[in-house]
Amino acid sequence: MSSLSVNHLLGIKQLSKPDIELILSTAKNFKEVLNRPIKKVPSLRDITVANLFFENSTRTRLSFELAQKRLSADVVNFSASNSSVKKGETLVDTVNNILAMKVDIIVMRHASPGAAIFLSKRVNAKIINAGDGAHEHPTQALLDAFSMQEKLGNLKGKKVVIVGDILHSRVALSNIFCLQKLGAEVKVCGPQTLIPKYITSLGVEVEPDLRKALEWCDVANMLRIQLERQDIKYFPSLREYTMMYGLNKDLLDSLSKKIIVMHPGPINRGVEITSDVADSKQSIILEQVENGVAVRMAVMFLLAGRQN
Amino acid sequence: MKTKILLEKTLFDITLKRLCHQLIEVHNDFSESVIIGLQPRGIYLARRIQKELKSILKTNSILCGDLDITFHRDDFRKKELIPSKTNIDFLIEDKNVVLVDDVLFTGRTIRAGLDALIDFGRPKDIELMVLVDRRFSRHVPIQAKYTGIKVDSISSQNVKVEWKETEGKDRVTLVDK
């Protein structure tokens, strides 16, 4: 297996297990490249990538841009706030105009679920989904899996709990697909109102008690409470959420084994996770960010290398 | 499929020993020199040379690394490539580097190898050693300083290098495709 089975990275759902394994093993090679004195390789020097961010992002946009530059690709950046989208241009028109300037790969973040899939059917470029609404965020799931693998080895049989706002989280859905394909067991934990009803149909168990969930798992992925997506109140107060589902040092230290703590960022310190946990030895939050560049390099390298 | 044996058994061993002695003439005790094998197939020759040098020079300090060149190739997107591991856990800055590969054919792999190598620093000089030099087939102006054997072959033929470590025996053959 030396090439992906897909032309776009739209979601983890569309990837096969060998695809995921190929991306993770290639990312390992890129991580080594990133630790060289000269961190740049010429692989994508004839490729132009457009980063289309219709939604705010710091980490993902920077990570993608760094990955593209480390691969020697030409990069153009676009954010919706200061573009013709404001004047009423449609998504397909916007993208086709960008493609007319000879762009090969589109990295897109959009607030609408399915935006990447929609685009992939209508334009002639390779699409990488950098987050579409509450649907999928495949590169985050891949870098999470990569970071877990670095700590735990093969993920088969490993236990991962995803804690928090599952309902509004694209990270949760992509993580569930990715971890299950790699053979890990996944549980979710959070207030009933933030757990989607379909979740059990994905083979995911719901554990409402945080302590029990943490005792069970090898890895806890703490999600951010996405206040910007919450149109109604899903829980009485942030303070109450923190008391029930926040991870603090006392709770972490009282567990019978040392678990790994992850967070996709940005962290609401003191809400889903306290500062002393986020900065503790068990937290691999900054390693996740570091690995993000390597994983995104692998994704773009493999997609660009695919012959149509 | 016709197979012609170019090198095996005693002749193979003698060739490796000769290459080692040629290296020692230039690099003395290897205190300022390192060996870098190109992935995926050059690393076997590099390690064998390292082992042989250790026993001839009676030292344990011969540095040898593996270099993957996939990300520097010029035929990326023309064929599917799988990257291998790079493992250079020493500095090459101001060292004499002996770049090692099994077969020198078009020279494109070595060109990519030179690019990949300077990502790790600026060596004092770089030399090339190959086990087999397929003459008259170069696409770039690259020649080896140390050569095991020279072979005249046509493009419909393959040169196959086998190693004890992977294929069970040391052998070089010329195979008609």
* Same domain (yes/no): A99, A131: yes
Residue B93 has pLDDT above 60, yes or no: yes
Q: Confirm whether B64 is domain-assigned.
A: yes
CATH number at residue A184: 3.40.50.1370
Whole-number percent of chain A with pLDDT over 90: 77
Judgement on whether residues A174 and A217 belong to the same structural domain of the protein = yes
% of residues, chain B, pLDDT over 70: 100
Which of A25, A32, A40, A69 is most worth mutating to test chain B (most B CB atoms within 10 A of its CB)? Answer: A32
Do the domain assignments include residue A222? yes
pLDDT in tens, A85-110: 667 788 888 888 888 888 999 999 99
> What's the pLDDT tens digit per position in B50-63?
999 999 999 889 99
Q: How many domains in chain B? A: 1
A152 and A267 fall within a common domain: yes
Q: Is residue A84 very low, low, confident or very high in pLDDT (cuts 50, 70, 90)? A: low
Smallest CA–CA distance, residue A34 to chain B, in Å, is: 11
Q: Is residue A1 pLDDT above 60, yes or no?
A: no
Identify the three-state secondary structure at position B34.
strand
Q: Is the pLDDT of residue A3 over 90?
A: no
Residue A221 lies in a domain: yes
pLDDT at A151 over 80: yes
A164 and A148 together in one domain: yes
Computed over every residue of chain A, the mean pLDDT equals 92
Between A188 and A2, the more confident residue is A188
Please state the rounded mean pLDDT for residues A180-209. 94
Residues A121 and A173 in one domain: no
Helix (H/G/I), strand (E/B), else coil: B118: helix
Average pLDDT of span B129-144: 94
Q: Min CA distance, A107 vs chain B (Å)?
A: 20
As for how many domains chain A has, the answer is 2
Q: Is residue A121 part of a domain?
A: yes
A143 has a pLDDT exceeding 80: yes
Same domain flag for A144 and A284: yes
pLDDT score of A230: 67
pLDDT at A10 over 70: yes
Residue B41: domain span? 10-156
Residues A203 and A283 reside in one and the same domain: yes
* Chain A contact present for B121, CB below 8 A: yes
**Cβ atoms B100, B36 nearer than 8 A:** yes
Whole-model pTM: value is: 0.88
- Least trusted range by pLDDT, from A8-22, A70-84, A156-170, A265-279: A70-84
CATH number assigned to the domain comprising residue B138: 3.40.50.2020
Instruction: Note whether A47 and A126 are same-domain residues.
Output: yes
In a domain, A91, yes or no: yes
Nearest to A59 by CA among A125, A143, A136, A128: A143
Cβ-defined contact of A38 to B77 (cutoff 8 Å)? no
Confirm whether A6 is domain-assigned: no
CB–CB contact B83 A29 (8 Å): yes
User: Is A87 an active-site residue?
Assistant: yes
Closest by alpha carbon to A232, among A188, A168, A171, A189? A168
Same domain, yes or no: A77 and A144: no
Do A298 and A276 have their domain in common?
no
Residues A167 and A82 in one domain: no
Q: Is residue A90 domain-shared with residue A155, that is, in the same domain?
A: no
Phi, psi dihedrals of residue A285, rounded to the nearest 5°? -60, -45
Within a domain: B170: no
- Residue B10 confidence (pLDDT) above 60: yes
Residue A86: domain span: 12-136+292-305
